[in-house]
Structure 1
Amino acid sequence: MRAFAELLDRLSLTASRNAKLVLVRDYLKATPDPDRGWALAALTGDLTFTAAKPALIRKAVEGRVDPVLFGWSYDYVGDLAETVALLWPSPADYRPNREPELAEVVDALLRAKRGEVQLLIEGWLDALKPKGRWALLKLVTGGLRIGLSARLAKTAAAMIRPAAIAQPPDPEGDEAQTALTAVDVSDIEEVWHAVDPPYADLFAWLEGRAERPSPDAPGRFRPVMLAVAIDEAVDFPKLSPADYAAEWKWDGIRVQAVREGGVARLYSRTGDEISAAFPDVMEGLDFDGAIDGELLVLRDGRPAPFGDLQQRLNRKAVDAKLMAAHPAGVLAYDLLAWNGEDLRALPLAERRARLEALVDAHPGDRLRLSPLVDYASWEALGRLRADPPVGAAAEGLMLKRWDSPYLAGRPKGPWFKWKRDPHVIDAVLMYAQRGHGKRSSFYSDYTFGVWTDEGALTPVGKAYFGFTDEELKQLDKFVRDHTVDRFGPVRSVRAERDFGLVLEIAFEGLQRSSRHKSGVAMRFPRVSRIRWDKPAREANTLDDVMDLLDAIESGGGRIAVASG
């Protein structure tokens, strides 16, 4: 555990992407199997322990430490793993022979029954020092929070392979050949779903000790192609409208629907299988190949807002009533494989033609074609982007070069996303809570509200990003200086008609919600500006927000209701 703990600690304190890559690469090169494989699974989110819950850890520490003291400490530190790691008291007469190895911890947790997990964790906490305890608890709860994406971890794994290994000349007198070439992260993503933790066969290939694992398993996930955000001032003068197809950027979730060799699966864009939550979609798909598209709720052939789809996400099972109320389907916009042929190297124009033929012949209404947007100039397309006829289910436009192959990752140039401008309101800061990881010492999670007819504030959302590090320090100071009450780790901040901090909040959408007192829920809210200059009484009202929601649901254009 010591090397893994050191890796997590250094990653959590490192902001540079390249520095993180080097840290993970060096760890994977220096650490033997199977420890490095389990570490890679943890870093990519492919290692979970269902029996190790935060409540179990709290129960363990409260058995050793006064619960009130623990509560005060947790409130101050703001992170469960860090609090327990610092506070955990090992028995005075306990002298461990050694610290547990990472593979030892993983193997024991994967085999353990629910009632055995607490004792295992307590024993390991006794044997480890604070940094190792912190890493252990982050591992078992799945909350690493170290600023490392799964793709970045795979990129680091690709870097452990030698660029080339020279071979001696063959007997026929040819020049020496190189047996290995550098591996790209897309090469790893191509085989990722054909290998299992702790990835011994993957590392054997990367180090030149074995052949590449076969990516040809039927029903496999293909690494997705992503778009870059367009810079209107810089990019449009260089681009010709005739070179790009335009289509709506649907407000659902990106999926890959695969049916091959009798295997049918539905994947999210990150490769997580979500077939079980959408059995109606899987039963309604009838083709041989792999389709890239958007999963949405479809009513009368029209995409519904994201809030409708959200009713069906993150479910292990779904009943007939929910499927009937929220019928899902796929809007297809690319064809990656068809009848055993890999189409990704073909230009988009040819892939699109084959996709149209497939959808035209497809039975039922679970698979539809994402229509192209007809336009003659960037100016005309901009007008459609600002006021799309499809209403709330489109969050902007996609631009794709007609001659582009389907390339894994986010290449610059072939595909662009041109999102609509966000909605904006002015709201008043009401509550604040400590963050996690590097932000555990700051109040960085902010609940904000708008005025009701009665002159009171009602919460409408929570934001924890959109501000700089310097602004975070200013916000944290405001919270500490103007706290009027405390509720566990949450501080209530002074917020009155004549005194309060106004935050300009940008967000992507609104939906009605019976779970929220205000009756609305925001999608992707973030702080776009701190309005130190604005009186709290001039923040927006709940009526403003409901008017915006009505406009969104009716398919109206983008509305910014910030009051100036």
Structure 2
Amino acid sequence: MRAFAELLDRLSLTASRNAKLVLLRDYLRNTPDPERGWALAALTGELTFDAAKPAMIRKAVDARVDPVLFRWSYDYVGDLAEAVALIWPAPEGLRPNREPELTEVVEALRSAGRGEVKGLLEGWLDALEPQSRWALLKLMTGALRVGLSARLAKTATAMMRPDAVPEPPDPEGGEAITALEPVTASDIEEIWHALSPPYADLFAWLEGRGEKPDANAPGRFRPVMLAVALDEAVDFEKLSPADYVAEWKWDGIRVQAVREAGVEKLYSRTGDEISGAFPDVMQGLTFEGAVDGELVVWRDGQVAPFGDLQQRLNRKSVDAKAMAAFPAAILAYDLLAETGEDLRALPLTERRVRLEALVETGGDRLHLSPVVDYASWDELARLRADPPVGAAAEGLMLKRRDSAYVAGRPKGPWFKWKRDPHVIDAVLMYAQRGHGKRSSFYSDFTFGVWTDEGALTPVGKAYFGFTDEELKQLDKFVRDHTIERFGPVRSVKAEREFGLVLEIAFEGLQRSPRHKSGVAMRFPRISRIRWDKPAREANTLDDVMDLLEAIDSGGGRIAQPVP
């Protein structure tokens, strides 16, 4: 565990992307199988333990440490794994003379029953030092949070390939050297769903000791092509409208529907299979191939607001009532494969012709995402500002007519041009410490707007959008103006004559009976700290409800908050 713990610690404390890549590359090069494979599985989210739950960690520490002391410690540290790792007492008598290896821990947890996990955990915590305890607990809970995405981990894995490998000795004398072809993250992603931890065949191929794993399994996931954000001031000077097709950027979730040789799969953008949550969609598809599109709730021939789709997300299964109330469908963007033929190298226009033909007979849960007609960037800008499709579109996509379907986020072929966010001014009400590197700072902020009675009602929570320096300023404000505590949450002084105003940007609003205000925001973030603005001039709940009505009636927007 010690080498894995050191890797996690250094990754969490390293801000540089390139430095993270080198750290993981070197770890994978220098660590033997199967240890490195289990580490890679943990970092890419492919390693979970059904029998291990955070509640078991709490039970274990409660049996060894005074519960009140632990609650105070947890409140101060702000992270369960870190708090337990630091406070866990030394065992009575002699410490176990051997630390468990990562492979030993993984194999034990994969085979353990729920009743066995607590005993295993206590024994391992007794044997480990604090840094390794922290790594163990992060591994068990799946909350590594070390600033390394699955894509970045695969990039580092590709980088571990050596430039050359020795061949068997030449009978004439000497040793021949064979150069290896470079490997990219996209190459790794192409075969990823044909692999399983601890990836011995992957490492053998990368090190020149084995053949490339076969990716041509029916129903496999294809790495998605992503768009870069459009910079209007720069990109429009370089681009020609005639070279690009425009489509709506629908307000759903990106999916890949695959039906090949009797294998049917529905994948999220990151390759997670979500077929179980949308059996009605899969049953309604009849094509043979792989379609890239947007999963939405489709009602009365229109895309419903994202809030309707949220009623069906993050579920392993769904009942008939939910399927009837929130009928899902796919708006098709692209065709990646058809009847065994890989189409990704074809130009977009050719793939589009074949997609249009496939949708005609592809099933009643498959619809074509229409192309947006425009002649100039100015005309397209007007459509983006006031789309006829209303709240269901969050912007536009621009795609080069001749673009191949390339995994990753290449610069130039595809752009996303999102609508400007909604903005309101709200007052800071509550704060809570963050996790990981933010565990010492109050970084999760609840904010509210004024009601007719002159009180504040919460309308959202945000934990990003500010710089590190602004985080320090916000943290100091919370500490200086705390008036009450509710466990880990601090209530901050917020009155009409005194309070901190935050400019909140968000992508959408929806009605929510679960919230006291009656509304919930989508993707809220702090876009500006309004040190200059009196709290009494923040927005009201009436302003927010007016905005919601405008969105519901056709995508209208309030460009600036109403003072």
Please report the TM-score for the alignment, with normalisation by the length of structure 2: 0.98
The answer to whether the 8 Å contact 1:540/1:561 transfers is no
Distance 1:238 1:166 in 2: 48
- Residue 194 of structure 1 aligns to a residue whose secondary structure is coil
The answer to whether the 8 Å contact 2:223/2:407 transfers is yes
Which residue in the other structure is 1:260 paired with? 260
Following superposition, the deviation at residue 186 of structure 1 comes to: 0.5
Which residue in the other structure is 2:555 paired with? 556
After superposition, the C-alpha distances for 1:438-480 in whole angstroms (9 at most, x for unaligned) are 1111000000000111111000000000000100000000000
After superposition, the C-alpha distances for 1:380-406 in whole angstroms (9 at most, x for unaligned) are 000000000000110000000000000
Which residue in the other structure is 1:417 paired with? 416
Q: Which amino acid aligns with 1:292?
A: D
Write out aligned runs for 1:33-432 (5 A). Answer: 33-165=33-165, 178=178, 180-364=180-364, 366-432=365-431
Following superposition, the deviation at residue 97 of structure 1 comes to: 1.8
The answer to whether the 8 Å contact 1:252/1:296 transfers is yes
- Residue 193 of structure 2 aligns to a residue whose secondary structure is helix
Distance 2:329 2:396 in 1: 20
Distance 1:556 1:215 in 2: 43
Q: Which amino acid aligns with 1:548?
A: L
Following superposition, the deviation at residue 353 of structure 1 comes to: 0.5
The answer to whether the 8 Å contact 1:145/1:437 transfers is yes
Distance 2:163 2:294 in 1: 38
After superposition, the C-alpha distances for 1:166-218 in whole angstroms (9 at most, x for unaligned) are 769999xxxx8945211011110000000101111111111111100000000
Distance 1:487 1:423 in 2: 31
Which residue in the other structure is 1:467 paired with? 466
Distance 1:177 1:387 in 2: 62
Distance 1:83 1:139 in 2: 15
Distance 1:345 1:141 in 2: 40
After superposition, the C-alpha distances for 1:333-369 in whole angstroms (9 at most, x for unaligned) are 10000011000000000000000011123342x1000
Following superposition, the deviation at residue 55 of structure 1 comes to: 1.4
Which residue in the other structure is 1:531 paired with? 530
How has the CA–CA distance of structure 1 residues 89 and 343 changed in structure 2, closer, same or farther, with 3 Å as cutoff? same
How has the CA–CA distance of structure 1 residues 209 and 544 changed in structure 2, closer, same or farther, with 3 Å as cutoff? same
The answer to whether the 8 Å contact 1:7/1:23 transfers is yes
The answer to whether the 8 Å contact 1:544/1:561 transfers is no
The answer to whether the 8 Å contact 1:277/1:316 transfers is yes
Distance 2:339 2:225 in 1: 21
Following superposition, the deviation at residue 94 of structure 1 comes to: 2.8
Following superposition, the deviation at residue 294 of structure 1 comes to: 0.2
Distance 1:489 1:556 in 2: 38
Which residue in the other structure is 1:13 paired with? 13
Q: Which amino acid aligns with 1:516?
A: H
Which residue in the other structure is 1:450 paired with? 449
Distance 1:342 1:370 in 2: 21
Distance 2:347 2:270 in 1: 24
After superposition, the C-alpha distances for 1:95-139 in whole angstroms (9 at most, x for unaligned) are 212100001000000100001101100100000000000000000
Which residue in the other structure is 1:494 paired with? 493
Which residue in the other structure is 2:440 paired with? 441
Q: Which amino acid aligns with 2:498?
A: F
Q: Which amino acid aligns with 1:81?
A: A
The answer to whether the 8 Å contact 2:164/2:177 transfers is no
Following superposition, the deviation at residue 164 of structure 1 comes to: 3.5
- Residue 242 of structure 1 aligns to a residue whose secondary structure is helix
Distance 1:480 1:93 in 2: 42
Distance 2:562 2:164 in 1: 61
Following superposition, the deviation at residue 50 of structure 1 comes to: 1.9
Q: Which amino acid aligns with 2:220?
A: R
The answer to whether the 8 Å contact 1:228/1:416 transfers is yes
The answer to whether the 8 Å contact 1:255/1:267 transfers is yes
After superposition, the C-alpha distances for 1:48-94 in whole angstroms (9 at most, x for unaligned) are 11222111111110110100000111111111111111100022303
Identity of aligned residues (%): 82
- Residue 124 of structure 1 aligns to a residue whose secondary structure is helix
The answer to whether the 8 Å contact 2:24/2:156 transfers is yes
- Residue 233 of structure 2 aligns to a residue whose secondary structure is helix
Following superposition, the deviation at residue 300 of structure 1 comes to: 1.5
In structure 1, runs of 5+ residues without a counterpart are none
After superposition, the C-alpha distances for 1:269-309 in whole angstroms (9 at most, x for unaligned) are 00000000000000000011000000000012211111000
Distance 1:195 1:552 in 2: 45
Following superposition, the deviation at residue 561 of structure 1 comes to: 4.4
Distance 2:111 2:268 in 1: 29
